[in-house]
Each structure stands twice: as structure tokens, then as C-alpha cells.
A and B are shown apart, each in its own frame.
Chain A
């Protein structure tokens, strides 16, 4: 099944449309939009994953940038950034150096920077996150 096409800039944009369901492991290189349902694993070393408002994902996500406008159940490991918009709902742990959350977003989970961070550092982050989690949930 072909899920991607070029956008004229040398980059490849993938789209999993509304009404489409996929189970398994998906690898992509540039940008991948999900409007349908995905269960399994989403992998891209530096690419951008966009879960659109209609998108429903139950997966482990390991990407460069992850933008969530729909629903995601699973852990996200993003090398560069995670964004959760006001329509986004995330249940899972986040590993990222940059986290952007819009008011109205729902996030249940913890946030860490990287698996390589020292235990002392992780403890500090957990404290910060626990304070912010309440605020995010109530937004």
C-alpha cells in the first residue's frame, strides 16, 4: 500500500486517510499525517508525525517531531519536539527536550528528557512535571 507522495520540495509527505486502519510498524522519513487509525509502532529518526483531529493512534512513537491534534495512547520519544494542541489527547509518557501544550489539551503521563539522563536529573524533572500536569489537566 502506498502511503506517501512527494510535495515538490524533495520531501515526502505521507497520509493515512480517514477511514483507514493500519496495524503494525510504520517507518517514514519526512512527514506523516494520520487521519485514520493506527495500532503498533511509528518510527522515524528525524521525521515529523502529525496526528490529525480524526486520528486515533495506539502505538509506541519514536520520531523527530510529534504533533498531536487527535488521540494517542502510548509513549512518545521525540528527538526534537512534541506539540499537543487543544484538541489533542495523550495518554502515555513523553521523552522530549521541548514540549508545547495548548490550553484545553489533555495529557496523562510523565515527561522526561532522555533515557540517558542521570537519575538525579530525572528526579528533578518529575517534580517539575507533577506541578504542571495538574495545570494542564485543568486547562
Chain B
């Protein structure tokens, strides 16, 4: 599946990454960074984007207390979106973000559709992501 990288989308991702990095640095001081053995996951977000890479809808879920996602584990996450508006919604890309205990994004999975997905009013759609360490 060809993934189109558009300027707005690229800038948005860069800003999010930079923001996360600044937050981590400010909270972690100058301690040496080590690769985490396991991620502590407390929740996840679904972020839907339109053709221009603009975020059109987002929602956060809790995962039912913090759990550890480490090596030798596979993780699947399914997020449901229902179009409660009166207009059809076109989705060209989505991201599922894993969030830690502090609410910060620790990892993300994204997929861009070759053709936009159209969700008509009242229709539900499940977006899924999978990770493996």
C-alpha cells in the first residue's frame, strides 16, 4: 500500500515527536536514556485524519489499569468509531497511540489508505493496530 507523505501530515508528525521528546527530557532530566525492557500501558488513543492530514476526530480510552507490554508479547488494539454527525466523513489515515501512566504517547501505529474510507452517518467502523516487541 503506497503511503503518501504530504507536507501538513509530515509537519504534524514532526511536531508531535518533538513535543514528546521535550516532555520526556524535561521530566527525565539528564539521566542516560536506556531502551525500555517493557512499556507500561495505561490507555490508547484513536486519531483520524482527512485527506489534508488534518486531525478530524480523536478519542482516548483507558485499558483497565496499567499493564506491561514487553518482549515476547503481541498486542492488538481495536478502536471503534461511529459517525454521529449528519454528514459523511472521509478518513484517509489513522493512528492508534499507546499512552503510558503519565498520559504521554509511548508508541504509535498508523495506516494510510490508498483510497479514503467513507463513513456515512450512523455507521461504525473498527480501526485496529498491532504491535510486537
Interfacial residues, chain A to chain B (CB-CB below 8 A):
46, 48, 64-65, 78-81, 83, 86, 96-104, 111, 113-114, 116-118, 120-122, 124-125, 128, 132, 135-136
Q: Per a CB cutoff under 8 Å, which of A80, A98, A117, A122 touches B76?
A: A98
Indicate whether B63 reaches chain A with its CB closer than 8 angstroms: yes
Q: B123 — which chain A residues lie within 8 A by C-beta?
A: 118, 120
Q: A65 — which chain B residues lie within 8 A by C-beta?
A: 64-65
Q: Interface residue tally of chain B, by bracket?
A: 20 to 34
Using known A-B contacts A103-B72, A113-B80, A121-B80, determine if residue A98 contacts B63 with beta carbons closer than 8 Å.
Answer: yes
Chain A interface mostly helix, strand, loop or mixed?
Answer: mixed
Instruction: Identify the closest chain A residue to B61 (Cβ).
Output: A97
Interfacial residues, chain B to chain A (CB-CB below 8 A):
44, 61-65, 67, 69, 72-80, 123-126, 128, 130
Is B63 within 8 A of A80, CB to CB?
yes
Is B80 within 8 A of A128, CB to CB?
no
Using known A-B contacts A117-B126, A121-B125, A125-B128, determine if residue A48 contacts B64 with beta carbons closer than 8 Å.
Answer: yes
Is B62 within 8 A of A80, CB to CB?
yes
Is B69 within 8 A of A48, CB to CB?
no
Q: How far is the CA of A46 from the CA of B64 in the complex (A)?
A: 8
Is B69 within 8 A of A100, CB to CB?
yes
Task: Provide 9 A-B residue pairs closer than 8 Å at the C-beta atoms, listed in order of the A residue.
Answer: A46-B64, A78-B64, A97-B80, A98-B44, A98-B75, A101-B76, A103-B73, A120-B125, A121-B125
Instruction: Identify the closest chain B residue to A113 (Cβ).
Output: B78
Q: A116 — which chain B residues lie within 8 A by C-beta?
A: 80, 124
Q: Closest Cβ of chain A: how far from B109's Cβ, in Å?
A: 12
